Amino acid sequence: MSSPGAVAFSVFGIDVMWYGILIGIGFALAVMLCYRRAPLHGIESDRILDLALWLIPLSVVGARAYYVLFNWNMYRGSLAEILNIRGGGLAIHGGIIAGIITAYVFARRKHISFPELADLILPSVALAQSIGRWGNFFNSEAHGTVTDLPWAIVVNGQHVHPTFLYESIWCFLLFLFLLWMDRRRKFPGQIALLYGMLYSLERFWVEGLRTDSLMIGTFRQAQVLSTAVFLLCLAGYLWLSRKHHTEEETR
């Protein structure tokens, strides 16, 4: 299997890319799901629409800035190329970081519990990731090393690991698991921390297969960041779980 091409269709001579369509669908479904689930976390649904107006564009800016930063030699001296995201070049870690900062500031300004907001949003983020990853397939990017596995995809005449598919499946299963856990959670922040741990585990593994990793010296930056996030989330999870258990015993 190989990509049919990056262009979905053209309007008045302007190419509309699959990459943008899929990211747009992911964002739209994430917002719709958060809107419906907001009351379960004690948040007014209309607040989600207000947040989306800030979070979506700033997440895209963060994802692009992160990618450009780690590929600075490629982009320096060309503002037009920095701004050109139609052909790809968005780093999910940058988008997540920008999104978390935006959500935190929004929660503080609107007097909303940030742990509740994070628990609400992050399952939908996993769903959006599972959809958006298919943009990498259409762009023939973010693929893995050469393999003879039967589900390999063809890129530049070679059979390679479909790492976009691995992450898409994992994120969709993560989305379902987090929704299931959300109805059984013991403390605010539990779902967000589970997302941080489980996504980091998958990303560390998949990054080891990819051929286009962003680097920090000789290390793959996604693996470095995934390790740090996993350990921080694990520590936070254990601390909050123990705190919750202590509070239950004293009641």
Position 89 in a domain: yes
Position 87 in a domain: yes
Residue 186 φ then ψ, to 5° = -100, -25
What residues in the chain have per-residue pLDDT under 70? 86-88, 251
| Per-residue confidence (pLDDT) for residue 79, from 0 to 100 | 76
Specify whether the CB–CB gap between 124 and 33 falls below 8 A. Answer: yes
Position 74 in a domain: yes
Position 135 in a domain: yes
In whole angstroms, give the CA distance from residue 194 to residue 30.
18
Position 107 in a domain: yes
Quote the domain boundaries for residue 59: 7-250
Position 71 in a domain: yes
Position 106 in a domain: yes
| Per-residue confidence (pLDDT) for residue 247, from 0 to 100 | 77
Alpha helices for 70-162 (secondary structure H): 72-75, 79-83, 92-110, 114-132, 134-139
Structural domain total, the chain = 1
Specify whether the CB–CB gap between 174 and 191 falls below 8 A. Answer: no
What would the two tokens of residue 2 be? 């190989």
Position 49 in a domain: yes
pLDDT tens column, 40-93: 999 999 999 999 999 999 999 999 888 888 878 777 777 777 777 766 678 889
Global pTM? 0.92
3 state SS of 204: helix
Specify whether the CB–CB gap between 233 and 200 falls below 8 A. Answer: yes
In whole angstroms, give the CA distance from residue 223 to residue 9.
36
In whole angstroms, give the CA distance from residue 172 to residue 151.
18
